[in-house]
Amino acid sequence: VSIATVYSPIDPNHVGHDNRTITPTSEAPGHGEGGPASKQIIVSFGFWIFLLSDIVMFSAFFAAFQVLAGNSFSPPPNYDLNDLAIETGCLLFSSFLCGCAALCASRRSLLGTELFLFLAGILGAAFLALEVREFLGLIALHQGPADGAYYSAFFALVGCHGLHVTVGLLWLGTMMAQLIAKGFRQDVLRRLACFSLFWHALDIVWVAIFSLVYLMRYAP
Amino acid sequence: MFGRLTWQAIPWSEPIPLVAAGVVGLGIAAVIAWIFVKGYAPYIWREWITSVDHKRIGVMYCFLALIMLLRGFSDAAMMRSQQAVAFHAGGYLPPDHYDQIFSAHGTIMIFFVAMPFMVGLMNFVVPLQLGVRDVAFPTLNSVSFWLTAAGALLVNVSLVVGEFARTGWLPYPPLSELQYSPGVGVDYYLWSLQISGAGTLLSGVNLVTTILKMRAPGMSYTRMPVFCWTALASNLLIVAAFPILTAVMAMLLLDRYLGFHFFTNELGGNAMMFVNLIWAWGHPEVYILILPAFGVFSEVIATFSSKPLFGYRSMVAATMTICVLSFMVWLHHFFTMGAGADVNGFFGIMTMIIAVPTGVKIYNWLFTMYGGKVRFSAPMLWSIGFMVTFVIGGMTGVLMAVPPADFVLHNSLFLVAHFHNVVIGGVLFGAFAGYNYWFPKAFGFQLDEAWGKRAFWLWIVGFYVAFMPLYVLGLLGMTRRLQHFDRPEWYPWVLIAGGGACLITLGICAQVIQLAVSIRNRAVLSDLTGDPWDGRTLEWATASPPPSFNFAVLPNVTGEEPYWGMKQKARELAHLLTAEPSYEAISVPRNTATGVVTAFFAVFLGFAMIWRIYWLAGLGFIGIFAVFVAFAWRDRSEEDISAAEVQKLDQKNRLVRAAVLAERASS
C-alpha cells in the first residue's frame, strides 16, 4: 500500500472528518450536524473524554503531593536521576514504538504491528521494573509510604501512574492476542487506536511527574 | 481465610437492623419466587437484565432510585422519631446505631436515589430527544447501571453483615481513619462508592459523547431541547468531578489499608486536604443533580403552558454558566476552616454570583407560564411547587454564603434545612415531575392523575412542616446529628418536624398507590398516541413505548421544538403526515450479560476488600477481566431488524398519529 492511499488528502490524520461519509440526503447545515458521527469518531471521542477524566484524577494526586510535599516530618529522598533518565527514555520510546505499530496497522501488516507492540510492551515492562526497584530501595531506607506524608503522596502519585502502565500492559497483551485471533477487524482497529491514545496520555502524565516530583526536588 | 469476617459481624444484639433485613429479605425472596413461578424469569433476563437498550436501562435506574428512596426514607423516619422521643431521654436508637443511620441516609439519598434517578431520566430521554437510536456505547451503559446497582447492594449488605460508617455522609478524617473508625463501616462506604462511582463516570463519558457526537440531522446545538443542554452540563461535570472523588477515596483507602499518611494526625498528614478535595467534587455534584432537574422543569413548563420556553438562549447560557461556576465555590462548605478573610470573601462572592443564572432560569419559567394556557397536571404541580420551594432554599443558601453568617449557622439544623430545601424541592421534585411526565412514554399508559395530585399535596405540605421548623431550630442553636437533647425550647419544633415526616410518609404511600392503581387501570389510562401531553420535542414523535430502534427514520430537524414544528406544519398543510418514507434495515446492538456479570464480580471484589479477604478480591478482579475479554472476543455485536419489520411497526404508529392529528385539528 502506498503512502498516498494511506494518507488521503481529505483526511490526512485519519480523524475521520470526511464530509462525504455524512448521510447524503441530509439537509443539515454543517458543523457536525449532519446526523450521528461515524463509529470511529464516536469511539475515539469517547475515549478522549475518558482520558480527560483520568487526567483530572491525576491532578487530584498532584494537588495532594504539592500540599504534602512541604511538611517537616518527612524530608524528600534523594532520587537516582540516572535511573530516572533511563526510565523516562523507556517510556517515551515505548510510545514511539506504539506509534509505529499504529502505522503498521494502517498498512494492515500483522507482523509489523505485533512486533512493534511487543517491543513497546517490553519497554513498558522495563519502565515498571525500574520503578519497582526505586520503590523497594526507598522502602528499605525507611522512606516508604507509611513513613511520612511526603512519601505517601509520592508513592500514591507515581504508583498510580505505574498502575496505569500495568493495566496498559495487560491491555496490550490482550490486544496482541486479539489481533492474531481476529485480524484487522474494524472494532479491533478502533481499540488499537484507543490503546495508542492511552499509552501516549501516560507519557503526558509522566512528563508532569518527572518535572514536578523529581526535578523540582532539586530546584533551588 | 475469611479475613476479618466472622459470625460476630452479624449484629445479633440489635433487633432493628435484623428485623428490617429479615423483612426485606423475605420480600425479595417472595418477588423472586413469584417471578419464577409465573415463568417471567427468562423474559426478565433477556429483555431487562441483559438489555443494552438505553430506555430499559433508564427505567431500571429509576426503579433502583425508587426502591432506594424507600430505604433512605426509612432512615429519615427513624431519625425524626428518635429525636421526637429523645428529649431528656435516650430514645430507642443507641448512639452508635443512630450515627450509622444518619450516615446511611445521606449516602443513600445522594448516591443511590438522586443520582440514579437523574441518570435514569437522562438515559431514557436524551437519545429520544436528540432523535437518535441509542447512546454512544450501549454495552458500557449496561455496565454503568449494574455497577451502580452493585454499590447499592453493598450498602444494604452492611445492614446485616458488619456495620455502616458512623462518620456522616462524607467521611471526614481523622474520624474516618483506622485509628478512630477501626470497624468495616467506612470501608463499606468507600468500596460501595468506588464501585458505583466508576459506573457514574462511565455513564458521564457515554452521555457526553452521545450529546456531542450523535444527534439527528439538523439538530444543531441551538436546536437541542433544554433538557439535553442540562444533561450535557451535568455529564460534563460528572466527567470533571467524579475522578476527584475517586482519587480522594483512594487516598483514604490507602490510609486505612496500607498505613499511608494523607489525612492522618501523624507524620504530616493533612485532614483539611480531604475536606477540600471532597468538596471539589461535592459542590459540582449538587449541580450534577440539580441541572437535569432544571431541564425537566423546562420541558414540563413549556409543554403544560402550551408555549415555547421563554428565553431559550438565556436558559442555555445560564446552564453553562452554572456548569463552570460550580467549580469555583467549594470552599463555602467550610468557611470555618479559617482560610482568612480574603479567601472566604472570594468564595462567598462567587457563591452569590452563582445565584444569578439560577434566578434567570426562575424568571424564564415564570415568563413561559405568563400568557400560556396552563394545564395543572401532576408534572406541572411538581414544577410549580419546585419554583416556590427552590426560591426559599436558594435565598437561605445566599444567606449562608455570607461568611460571618455561616460561622453562626455552620453545622446547625439551619444548614440541614437549607440543603433539604434545595435537594427535595429541586432534585426530588424534578425527579417526580419527570417520572409523571415521561412514564406514559416508557410504558404506554399514564399514571393516575388523582393519586398523583394527592401525592404532590401531601409531599409539599409535609416538606414545609418537616423542614421549616429546622430553620428555627438552627437559629435556636440546635446542631445537626444529635442523638438526644435536653433544651425545652427545641422540643415543640422537633415534634412539628416529626409530624411533617408523617405527612411525607403519607405522600410516599400515595405514590405507591398511584403506581398500583395505574397498573391496574392501565387499559383505561393507555395512551395510543405516543403524545399524551401535546408535547414539543422529538421523544413524543415516536410510539409509546418506543420501538427498540426509537425512530424508523431519523427525523430531519429544521428548527427548535422539532415535533411541535412538525405538528404545526401538518396543521397548516391540512394533510396530516408526510409521505411514507423508504424504510431501511436497522442495526441494533445485541443484548449482553457483560454488565450484570461485571457487577457480580465487582460485588465480590468490593465485599472481599471490605473484609480483607484478599484471595477473593483477586478472584473478583480476574472475573472482571475475563468478562471484558469475552466481550472483546464477540464476533457479532449487532443484529438487524429488517426493513419490512420496521415498516410494519412504523405504519401502525403513523395511522394512530394521523387520527390524533385529525382529531386535534378539528377540535
The per-residue pLDDT for range A55-76, each reduced to its tens digit, is 999 999 999 999 999 888 888 8
Coil, helix or strand for B479? strand
Residues of B in contact with A26 (CB under 8 A): 217-218, 556
**Nearest chain B residue (CA) to A156:** B251
Count of helix runs (H) and strand runs (E) in chain A:
6, 0
- B210-256 confidence digits (pLDDT tens): 999 999 988 889 899 999 999 999 999 999 999 999 999 999 999 99
User: Among B208, B270, B556, whose Cβ lies nearest the Cβ of A49?
Assistant: B208
Place of cell 452569590: B352
Higher per-residue confidence, A1 vs B622: B622
Share of chain B above pLDDT 70, in %: 99
Do the chains contact at A35 and B554, CB–CB below 8 Å?
A: yes
Do the chains contact at A60 and B258, CB–CB below 8 Å?
A: no
Band (pLDDT 50/70/90 cuts) for residue A2 is very low
Give the residue among B159, B222, B228, B224 at the shortest CA–CA distance from B188. Answer: B159
DSSP bridge pairs for B586: B641
DSSP line for B236-299: HHHHHHHHHHHHHHHHHHHHHHH---SS-SSTT--HHHHHHHHHHHHHHHHHHHHHHHHHHHHH
The confidence score (pLDDT) of residue B574 equals 61
> Mean pLDDT, to the nearest integer, of B333-348?
93
Do the chains contact at B629 and A156, CB–CB below 8 Å?
A: no
Give whole-number Cα distances, B513 to B66, B67, B134, B450, in Å: 14, 15, 33, 11
Has residue B448 got a pLDDT over 70? yes
Higher per-residue confidence, A218 vs A8: A218
Do the chains contact at A26 and B633, CB–CB below 8 Å?
A: no
Best A23, A43, A57 residue to mutate vs chain B (most B CBs within 10 Å): A57
Do the chains contact at B258 and A146, CB–CB below 8 Å?
A: yes
Do the chains contact at A68 and B208, CB–CB below 8 Å?
A: no
Phi first, then psi: what are they for B586, rounded to 5°?
Answer: -120, 135
Do the chains contact at A41 and B219, CB–CB below 8 Å?
A: no
Question: Which cell goes with B655?
Answer: 395511522
The confidence score (pLDDT) of residue A31 equals 43
Contact present, B530 and B552 (Cβ < 8 Å): no
Distance (Å, rounded) from C-alpha B139 to C-alpha B598? 11
Alpha-carbon torsion, ordered B369, B371, B377, B378, to 10 deg: 10
Distance (Å, rounded) from C-alpha B383 to C-alpha B298? 9
Best B143, B214, B261 residue to mutate vs chain A (most A CBs within 10 Å): B261
Has residue A50 got a pLDDT over 80? yes
Higher per-residue confidence, A41 vs B304: B304
**Nearest chain A residue (CA) to B274:** A64
Do the chains contact at B132 and A61, CB–CB below 8 Å?
A: no
User: Among B209, B277, B632, whose Cβ lies nearest the Cβ of A45?
Assistant: B209
Do the chains contact at B218 and A153, CB–CB below 8 Å?
A: no
- B347 Rama sector, left if φ>0, alpha if ψ -120 to 50, beta otherwise: alpha
Contact present, B309 and B560 (Cβ < 8 Å): no
**Among B233-237, B424-428, B533-537, B637-641, which stretch is predicted with the lowest mean pLDDT?**
B637-641
Residues of A in contact with B632 (CB under 8 A): 174, 178, 191
Q: At B485, which amino acid appears?
A: F
Residues of B in contact with A57 (CB under 8 A): 243-244, 246-247
Contact present, B118 and B203 (Cβ < 8 Å): no
Give the residue among B235, B210, B355, B373 at the shortest CA–CA distance from B295. Answer: B235
Share of chain B above pLDDT 90, in %: 81
Contact present, B557 and B219 (Cβ < 8 Å): yes
Q: What is the dihedral sign for C-alpha B144, B147, B148, B149?
A: positive
DSSP bridge pairs for B526: B445
Residues of A in contact with B264 (CB under 8 A): 149
Do the chains contact at B260 and A181, CB–CB below 8 Å?
A: no
Band (pLDDT 50/70/90 cuts) for residue B578 is low
Distance from CA of B317 to the nearest CA of A (A): 20
User: Among B254, B268, B637, whose Cβ lies nearest the Cβ of A156?
Assistant: B254
> Mean pLDDT, to the nearest integer, of B99-108?
96
- B475-525 confidence digits (pLDDT tens): 999 999 999 999 999 999 999 999 999 999 999 999 999 999 999 999 999
Distance from CA of A177 to the nearest CA of B (A): 10
User: Among B201, B202, B217, whose Cβ lies nearest the Cβ of A33?
Assistant: B217
Beta strands in B367-492 (DSSP E): none
Best B205, B212, B327, B337 residue to mutate vs chain A (most A CBs within 10 Å): B205
Distance (Å, rounded) from C-alpha A9 to C-alpha A4? 8
**Nearest chain A residue (CA) to B634:** A182
Contact present, B254 and B274 (Cβ < 8 Å): no
Do the chains contact at A60 and B633, CB–CB below 8 Å?
A: no
Do the chains contact at A33 and B220, CB–CB below 8 Å?
A: yes
- Summary mean pLDDT of chain A: 86
Band (pLDDT 50/70/90 cuts) for residue A34 is confident
Do the chains contact at A46 and B216, CB–CB below 8 Å?
A: no
Do the chains contact at A182 and B277, CB–CB below 8 Å?
A: no
Has residue A4 got a pLDDT over 50? no
Distance from CA of A94 to the nearest CA of B (A): 24
Residues of A in contact with B250 (CB under 8 A): 156, 160
Distance (Å, rounded) from C-alpha B609 to C-alpha B618? 9
Residues of A in contact with B251 (CB under 8 A): 61, 64, 156
Share of chain A above pLDDT 90, in %: 71
Has residue A9 got a pLDDT over 70? no
Distance from CA of A30 to the nearest CA of B (A): 8
Do the chains contact at B212 and A178, CB–CB below 8 Å?
A: no
Do the chains contact at A49 and B243, CB–CB below 8 Å?
A: no
Predicted TM-score of the model (pTM): 0.93
Do the chains contact at A23 and B217, CB–CB below 8 Å?
A: yes
Do the chains contact at B205 and A53, CB–CB below 8 Å?
A: yes
Residues of B in contact with A42 (CB under 8 A): 136-137, 209, 213-214
Distance from CA of B248 to the nearest CA of A (A): 7
Between B271-304 and B115-130, two packed helices, what is the crossing angle to 10 degrees?
Answer: 50
* Burial tier of B176 (Cβ tally within 10 Å: 0-12, 13-18, 19+): buried
Place of cell 441516609: B105
Distance from CA of A15 to the nearest CA of B (A): 14
Do the chains contact at B633 and A178, CB–CB below 8 Å?
A: yes
Has residue A20 got a pLDDT over 70? no
Do the chains contact at A146 and B261, CB–CB below 8 Å?
A: yes
Question: Which cell goes with B109?
Answer: 439519598
Band (pLDDT 50/70/90 cuts) for residue B581 is confident
Do the chains contact at A181 and B633, CB–CB below 8 Å?
A: yes
Coil, helix or strand for B130? helix
The confidence score (pLDDT) of residue B134 equals 92
Distance (Å, rounded) from C-alpha B168 to C-alpha B98? 11
- Summary mean pLDDT of chain B: 93
The confidence score (pLDDT) of residue A71 equals 83
Give whole-number Cα distances, B16 to A40, B74, B184, in Å: 54, 12, 19
Residues of B in contact with A155 (CB under 8 A): 260
Band (pLDDT 50/70/90 cuts) for residue B125 is very high
Do the chains contact at B214 and A37, CB–CB below 8 Å?
A: yes
Has residue A207 got a pLDDT over 50? yes
> Mean pLDDT, to the nearest integer, of B632-645?
89
Distance from CA of A100 to the nearest CA of B (A): 23
Size of the A and B interface in Cβ pairs below 8 Å: 150
DSSP line for B533-595: T---SGGGGS-SSPPTTS-SSPPPP-SSSHHHHHHHHHHHHSS-SPPPPPP--EEEEPP-SHH
Residues of B in contact with A49 (CB under 8 A): 205, 208-209, 239
- Give pairs for B88-93: CB < 8 Å, separation 24+: B88/B484, B88/B486, B89/B484, B90/B484, B91/B483, B91/B484, B93/B16, B93/B483
Distance from CA of B172 to the nearest CA of A (A): 16
Give whole-number Cα distances, A2 to A92, A102, A107, in Å: 28, 16, 9
Distance (Å, rounded) from C-alpha B222 to C-alpha B320? 13
CA B343 to chain centre: 32
Distance (Å, rounded) from C-alpha B495 to C-alpha B489? 11
